[in-house]
A and B are shown apart, each in its own frame.
Chain A
């Protein structure tokens, strides 16, 4: 792992990887969205509004996966003091918040015709909203960190503590009576019929690759900023 502690080495891999992830992800998302809009049949009960699933599910996964990534990066920063851990955690926070917001918005749009309400304070929706606020808090804390590029220890601890919410979101529909339906895709299989399910694989994979590309771009920008600043300081002292 420490082989990539050297930013130059990291950049050598990140630079060619960014367009691969970005364009690959965009292509998969386009295929998945086209298939989800035009090729799959409507649902027997929800009708056409089922199609929002192809955006809502990847958004939920990336919102939660993003914070899991922040938590892992926080541990690595706190324990191993890896120089890129803080940079990556900071890079994840903004797209993570974006996808969490996207999940809440698409869920709300789906909820109106299906449940008959835009918003209800049930366990799943409330815990997901808490996740969005955790992201806002994390971004604010990271921006107030003294460390250039990386994040402060307090921010890393916050990233770790916030991870408690992730299993709560996941289990919220199982532990409590909730308006949100239970999990459709479990280890036992899927209760989404395969005709409706297949484009979801494309959009989940596609958005995940796009997320990776955004994180790499943000990390590179962050590292470039550190370099510029160091160079400016050197020039000023000469």
Chain B
């Protein structure tokens, strides 16, 4: 066996070991590295009321209601499997709207409502000029 082949074998074995361990680490991280919980995850994960979490999903159509104080909104977030009620006091990003993705930072209250301290809009992977909207763009599920 030439030393060149020995080195090649060593490099390939090392590469496989590295990629393998990387993949193992990433699958183990799967839940911890998630940026947010989807409404269905909230049911299975044991999230205590008051614990700081992020919730992400699609804003349900016609669900945004404004409280009389003018700055508090209530809406529902869905991932197609489950729905969570959300309450938020403050200013939302321009791209926050019904049938669009959102991520909220906050915690669950004792009655199961998610109280958000901050809201981010999640943009999906679709890009198009305005006149095509409606023709192509029908967001029904979370773009994942």
Interface set of A (CB-CB < 8 Å, partner B): 40-46, 50, 53, 75, 78-80, 113-117, 120-123, 160-161, 163-164, 167-168, 171, 174-179, 181-184, 191-193, 195-197
**In the complex, what residues of A have CB within 8 A of residue B33's CB?**
123, 175-176
**In the complex, what residues of A have CB within 8 A of residue B128's CB?**
43-44, 192-193, 195-196
Q: How far is the CA of A53 from the CA of B126 in the complex (A)?
A: 12
Interface set of B (CB-CB < 8 Å, partner A): 4, 7-8, 11, 14-15, 18-19, 22, 26, 30, 33-38, 56, 92-96, 100, 103, 119-133, 136-137, 143-144
- Determine whether the beta carbon of A160 is less than 8 Å from that of B14: yes
- Determine whether the beta carbon of B122 is less than 8 Å from that of A115: yes
**In the complex, what residues of A have CB within 8 A of residue B132's CB?**
44, 193
**In the complex, what residues of B have CB within 8 A of residue A178's CB?**
34-35
Partner of B133, one of A44, A176, A179: A44
Closest to A162 in B: B18
- Determine whether the beta carbon of B119 is less than 8 Å from that of A116: yes
- Determine whether the beta carbon of B56 is less than 8 Å from that of A177: yes
- Determine whether the beta carbon of A184 is less than 8 Å from that of B127: yes
Take A41-B129, A115-B121, A177-B38 as given contacts and tell me if A75 and B143 are in contact as well, using a CB distance cutoff of 8 Å. Answer: no
- Determine whether the beta carbon of B127 is less than 8 Å from that of A168: no
Closest to A192 in B: B127
- Determine whether the beta carbon of B130 is less than 8 Å from that of A183: no
**In the complex, what residues of A have CB within 8 A of residue B123's CB?**
45-46, 114-115, 181
- The minimal Cβ–Cβ distance linking A116 to chain B, given in whole angstroms, is 3
Q: How far is the CA of A77 from the CA of B144 in the complex (A)?
A: 40
**In the complex, what residues of B have CB within 8 A of residue A116's CB?**
92-93, 95-96, 119-121
Residue among B38, B103, B127 with max Cβ neighbours from chain A (10 Å):
B127
**In the complex, what residues of B have CB within 8 A of residue A181's CB?**
122-125, 143
Closest to B37 in A: A177
- The minimal Cβ–Cβ distance linking A211 to chain B, given in whole angstroms, is 25
